[in-house]
Amino acid sequence: MSDTLRAPEPFAPQTSPEAIEDLRARLRATRWPDVPEDVGWSLGTDLDYLRELVGYWADGFDWSAQEAALSRLPRFRASVGGLGIHFVHARAVTPEGPVLPLVLSHGWPDSFWRYSKVIPLLVDPGAHGGDPADAFDVVVPDMPGFGYSDRPTGPPLSSIAVAGLWAELMSVLGYERFGAAGGDMGSHVSRYLALDHADRVAAVHRTDGGLPVFAGDPATLHPEERAWFAEVATWGANEGAYGAMHRTKPQTVAAALNDSPAGLAAWIVEKLQAWSHGGIERSYTKDEILTNITIYWLTGTIGSSMRMYHANAAISAEQLARRVEVPSGFSIFRGDVVRPPRAWLERTANTVRVTEPDRGGHFAPFEEPELYAQELREFFRPYRGTGSA
Pick the catalytic residue from 242, 309, 372, 383: 309
Sheet containing strand 349-355, edge to edge, reads 9-10, 75-80, 83-90, 136-141, 100-105, 178-182, 201-206, 324-331, 349-355
Report the alpha-carbon angle 339-114-290, nearest 5.
115
Nearest C-alpha neighbor of 257 from the set 226, 214, 287, 301: 301
* Residue 61 is assigned to a structural domain of this protein: yes
- 159 CB-near residues (< 8 Å, 6+ apart): 185, 188, 189, 191, 192, 308, 311, 312, 315
Between strands 75-80 and 83-90, the pairing is: antiparallel
Confidence bin at 389 (pLDDT 50/70/90) = very low
* Residue 389 is assigned to a structural domain of this protein: no
Q: Would residue 199 show up in a list of annotated catalytic residues for this protein?
A: no
CA gap 122, 115 in Å, rounded: 10
Contacts made by residues 32-38, CB under 8 angstroms, sequence distance 24+: 32/262
* Residue 2 is assigned to a structural domain of this protein: no
pLDDT at 197: 98
CA gap 267, 90 in Å, rounded: 31
Q: Would residue 188 show up in a list of annotated catalytic residues for this protein?
A: no
* Residue 4 is assigned to a structural domain of this protein: no
Contact 169, 85 (CB under 8 A): yes
Contact 116, 87 (CB under 8 A): no
Give Rg (Cα) of the chain.
20
CATH classification at residue 134: 3.40.50.1820
Domain that residue 135 falls in? 9-383
Write out pLDDT tens, residues 14-34: 999 999 999 999 999 999 999
Q: How many domains does the chain have?
A: 1
* Residue 57 is assigned to a structural domain of this protein: yes
- 126 CB-near residues (< 8 Å, 6+ apart): 93, 94, 132, 135
Contact 385, 202 (CB under 8 A): yes
349: phi then psi, degrees, rounded to nearest 5: -155, 160
Question: Does position 96 have pLDDT exceeding 80, yes or no?
Answer: no
The percent of residues above 90 in pLDDT, for the chain, comes to 94
- Give 238: exposed, middle or buried? Use CB within 10 Å, 0-12, 13-18, 19+: exposed
CA 326 to chain centre: 21
Question: Does position 214 have pLDDT exceeding 80, yes or no?
Answer: yes
Write out pLDDT tens, residues 249-261: 999 999 999 999 9
Pick the catalytic residue from 137, 184, 208, 336: 184
3-state secondary structure of 385: coil
Mean of per-residue pLDDT scores for the chain: 95
Please state the length of the chain: 389
- Give 33: exposed, middle or buried? Use CB within 10 Å, 0-12, 13-18, 19+: exposed
pLDDT at 97: 78
* Residue 60 is assigned to a structural domain of this protein: yes
96-100, 106-110, 273-277: segment of lowest average pLDDT: 96-100
Cα 155 to Cα 145, 176, 221, 311, distances in angstroms: 11, 29, 36, 8
Confidence bin at 1 (pLDDT 50/70/90) = very low
pLDDT at 55: 98
Q: Report DSSP state, residue 89.
A: E
Contact 136, 100 (CB under 8 A): yes
Write out pLDDT tens, residues 144-203: 999 999 999 999 999 999 999 999 999 999 999 999 999 999 999 999 999 999 999 999
Q: Would residue 362 show up in a list of annotated catalytic residues for this protein?
A: yes
Question: Does position 290 have pLDDT exceeding 60, yes or no?
Answer: yes
Report the alpha-carbon angle 22-28-30, nearest 5.
105
pLDDT at 387: 46
**DSSP class per residue in 222-289:** -HHHHHHHHHHHHHHHHH-HHHHHHHH-HHHHHHHHTT-HHHHHHHHHHHHHHHSTT-HHHH--HHHH
* Residue 388 is assigned to a structural domain of this protein: no
Pick the catalytic residue from 106, 362, 372, 383: 362
Question: Does position 229 have pLDDT exceeding 50, yes or no?
Answer: yes
